[in-house]
A and B are shown apart, each in its own frame.
Chain A
Amino acid sequence: METALTTALNAALAKEEEAISSTRFDEIVRQHQRRVYRVLYLLVKDSDAADTLTQECFLRAYKNLGSFRGECRIETWLLRIAVNLARDHGKSRRVSFWKRLIGLEEAEGNETTSRQIPGSQPSAERVLLAREHLAGVWAALTDLSQQQRTIFLLRFAEELSLAEIAAILKLSVGTVKAHLFRATAKVRETVREKPCS
């Protein structure tokens, strides 16, 4: 039997539960935002897009918090969302490219080359140099498939284990190994032809 008192109590409990989960979520954001942003930046090669997609990633995670069963680490789950977002972003960029090509969409400024580095950044030169190096690596990765590129970057830039990569991409460790082997072989060939750093 639900009385006015139990209703009020339940409402209070629910509110408290919400508040706790909200605080916990803020903590999750603080803990993982840098890595999520970094992975997205490596995959989309654009800091603005990486920023937007990082927000999108956490928003999606928040909306689907109920579906997270804890079968993997929360970071693995977040990176899985991030990789999927980067993949969707790539698709929409390709669509946008074709739209621009046939004049359906106004050409936008070159986002990668005209990227603005905020003046207040710590060691702006260091950042710029690192980005140049990364541009060289990205050039060596152009021949790779999206899956291979993702695996290569997660392994060598993020130093994730094969098992972690397999969990993020929902692949077997064997498949990850095979992709990584092919990716490394291709990158080695590219490096031999044109040194990227």
Chain B
Amino acid sequence: MQLTRDLSNDDLAEIVFAGDQERLQRILGALPEWAHAATEHPDAFWERQQAEIKKRTDAVPQRSSRWVVIAWASATAVVLLATLLLRSSPAPPPSIVQSDVDQELLLAVEQSLQSGVPQALEPAALLADEINRSAQPILTSHGVSKENQNEGPRNEDR
């Protein structure tokens, strides 16, 4: 009692935990032996278990032999190859595309023939047209005024 009173809390805790530790270590140390002892069986038990396993494994359908596996692999490869070949076969018949292109070219030629100016010079022709059109009214107005001016004195003269 006196001894307990002299011990600090830490000392007491250490003793308690040391006791736990010891108990735990005893249990853990004995555990493998208990596990072995608890699962001890006569040889007949293990032999029966082996026979049971053998019976069940024998009942499993035989695993497909190497040759069957190879045959399956080859067949799969052939099917895959065929699929790939079918997928990468020549694209839609070129004749349709070709005729479309011909048609377009024909239309372009026709248009450029009708326009009277080569297609490349069309912008220049448009510009020239524009200049002409804008110059026309000025010219006409100038012509009229000049005519008027010319006519004026004549009229005055008259």
Contacts and interface: CB of A to CB of B under 8 A. Distances in A.
B24 interface: yes
A192 B18 CA distance: 11
B57 A59 contact: yes
A33 interface: yes
B32 A159 contact: yes
Given A62-B60, A158-B35, A188-B20, A120 B44 contact: yes
B35 A42 contact: yes
A131 B38 contact: yes
Interface string A130-148: 1101100100100000000
Interface string A143-156: 00000000000001
Interface residues of B, number: 37
Instruction: Tell which of A130, A137, A187 has the most Cβ of chain B within 10 Å.
Output: A130
Interface in A40-72: 41-42, 47, 50-51, 54-55, 58-59, 62-63, 65-66
Interface residues of A, number: 51
A58 B40 contact: no
A47 B49 CA distance: 13
B154 interface: no
Contacts of A50: 39
B31 to A, nearest CB: 5
A156 B31 contact: yes
A51 B48 CA distance: 10
Contact of A122 (B40, B50, B53, B54): B40
A127 B37 CA distance: 5
A38 B38 CA distance: 8
A37 B53 CA distance: 13
A157 interface: yes
Instruction: Tell which of B27, B39, B40, B54 has the most Cβ of chain A within 10 Å.
Output: B39
7 closest A-B pairs (Cβ-Cβ)? A130-B37, A130-B38, A157-B35, A130-B34, A14-B65, A38-B39, A62-B57
Given A41-B35, A156-B28, 4 more contacts: A29-B54, A38-B39, A131-B38, A140-B27
